[in-house]
Amino acid sequence: MKKVYFDSAATSQLRNEVIHTMTNVLKTEYGNPSSTHTYGRSSKSLLENCRKEIAKLFNVQASEIIFTSGGTEADNLAIQSCVRNLGVQTIITSKLEHHAVLHTVESLQKKEGVEVLYVNHKEDSSIDIDYFETLLKKCKNKTLVSLMHVNNEIGTLLPIEKIASISKENGALLHSDMVQSIGHFKTDFGKVPIDFAAASAHKFHGPKGVGFAFVRKNSGLKPLIVGGGQERGLRAGTEAVYAIAGMTEALKIAYQNLDDEKQYIASLKEYFKTELTKSINNVTFNGLSGDSEQSTYSILSVNLPIPEDKAQLLVFQLDLKGIACSQGSACQSGSDEGSHVLKQILSPYKLKNPSIRFSFSCFNTKPEIDYVIKTLKEFVEN
Ligand code: PMP
């Protein structure tokens, strides 16, 4: 059976170089970076080199990179500590955020009584920046803005530089979930005044269970996970040295190849869009996912004109044909609650249709797209 992996926004295939790096580190660097003997010092030096290399990519200091278990922890570290330790009483965020942010904010609202305000999105999923500014200007308390750079379901690209300057002009702290952005877009934290950001290695062809938080110097943040004094006192526990080495390798390659891969992946997405529109009548693209300027180049969320009761079947059928993609609307997700993002942006009529997210990577090809479109067409017509 053919195997087609169009789910890179969920997690991505590891690069061979990353596997090679991790294997070497697993074999040779088994000292605990906290130990003072030769083995420990060697692991520590590897870790600190990784930190320096990552910091260089974003034009920040090595001490501003904190290794974590992934994006979720990096989001939690910043948001929770802002409320618990930095006196933040109001959070401005969006209903289109990932649950790593949304549920964190909701729990702080419940447990700590923090005020939560949501920005408005236009019908196409773009942010209403004027409303955001008005909302922020009205905030009297110390405020944290938490807005993602790239939306994981519909790919919408937020104007993070603008959001950062508005946040700073109004004295707010800014956190950005950059899990779908880091490794795909390059943000210069030396220039863009973001205070905290979250990254996850498995979104850029690195290993799972590792990521990092960018935490601006002298932020005053306190650890979420307490214990030893690792990660500059901001995150306790022995670091996953091999995974951090793999993540660093993955990130370096991602940025070395950025322009070429961006162009290649964008051409795949464009081809998919064009061919799908030609093959199936009344297909639409959710949010701004079909727009090449205002969305990322790798995510396309498709709304298919088929009856609601066929939705679940479609996803099974695609899986049976070896096609991996993500389902994205309430009607398709069986027992779970469905996509909170699509519920926010789609009309009730469209929400009934199955929405599927296809996300592409440098490992995909046009013949794979042809195969998926042929399979979708057969399904829709039968
Ligand atoms: N934020 C976004 C936008 C994501 O797409 C994801 C992963 N689906 C996360 C946070 C969580 O990252 P991790 O899996 O590394 O915890």
Tell me the CA–centroid distance for residue 12 and ligand 1, in Å: 12
| Cα gap 272→375, rounded to integer Å | 13
Is 331 annotated in the active site? yes
Q: Do 279 and 199 reside in the same domain of the chain?
A: no
Q: Among 67, 72, 295, 326, which residue has the most ligand 1 atoms within 8 Å of its CB, making it the best to mutate?
A: 72
Say which DSSP state 227 is in: S
Last-in-domain residue among 236, 256, 276: 256
Work out the mean pLDDT of the chain and round it to a whole number.
94
pLDDT at 78: 98
pLDDT tens digits for 85-111?
999 999 999 999 999 999 999 999 999
Exactly one of 50, 82, 139, 331 is catalytic; name it: 331
Q: Do 103 and 248 reside in the same domain of the chain?
A: yes
pLDDT at 159 over 80: yes
Question: Residues for the chain: how many in total?
Answer: 382
Q: Do 358 and 372 contact (CB within 8 A), yes or no?
A: yes
Q: Which among 53, 48, 153 is positioned nearest to 95, based on CA atoms?
A: 153
Last-in-domain residue among 256, 277, 294: 256
Q: What is the CATH number of the domain that holds 362?
A: 3.90.1150.10
Residue range 237-245: mean pLDDT, rounded: 98
Q: Do 218 and 263 reside in the same domain of the chain?
A: no
pTM, rounded to two decimals: 0.96
Last-in-domain residue among 241, 256, 271: 256
| DSSP letter for each residue of 18-82 | HHHHHHHHHHH--S-TT--SHHHHHHHHHHHHHHHHHHHHHT--GGGEEEESSHHHHHHHHHHHH
Q: Do 48 and 169 reside in the same domain of the chain?
A: yes
| Cα gap 201→277, rounded to integer Å | 33
| Cα gap 147→137, rounded to integer Å | 17
Q: How far is CA 142 from CA 19, 83, 101, 167, 170, in A?
A: 44, 9, 18, 12, 10
Residue with tokens 């939690």: 76
pLDDT at 331: 41
Q: Among 76, 102, 103, 152, which residue has the most ligand 1 atoms within 8 Å of its CB, making it the best to mutate?
A: 152
| Cα gap 321→308, rounded to integer Å | 21
- The helix (H) or strand (E) run that includes residue 200 is strand 196-200
Q: Do 228 and 280 reside in the same domain of the chain?
A: no
Number of folded domains in the chain?
2
Q: Do 319 and 178 reside in the same domain of the chain?
A: no
Q: Provide the pLDDT confidence category of residue 1 given band limits of 50, 70 and 90.
A: confident
Q: Do 171 and 104 reside in the same domain of the chain?
A: yes
SS3 content of the chain, % helix, strand, coil (to 5): 45, 15, 40
Reported in sequence order, the residue ranges of 106-195 that DSSP labels E, i.e. its strands, are: 115-118, 143-146, 173-177
pLDDT at 123 over 90: no
Q: Do 147 and 266 reside in the same domain of the chain?
A: no
Q: List the helix and strand counts (H, then E) for the chain.
A: 12, 13
Q: Is the complex ipTM higher than 0.90? A: yes
pLDDT tens digits for 4-57?
999 999 999 999 999 999 999 999 999 999 999 999 999 999 999 999 999 999
Q: Provide the pLDDT confidence category of residue 313 given band limits of 50, 70 and 90.
A: confident
pLDDT at 334 over 80: no
The binding-site residues of ligand 1, defined as CB within 6 angstroms of any ligand atom, are: 70-72, 98, 100, 148, 152, 177, 179-180, 200, 211
Tell me the CA–centroid distance for residue 293 and ligand 1, in Å: 23
Q: How much of the chain exceeds pLDDT 70, in percent?
A: 97
What is the domain extent for residue 214?
16-256
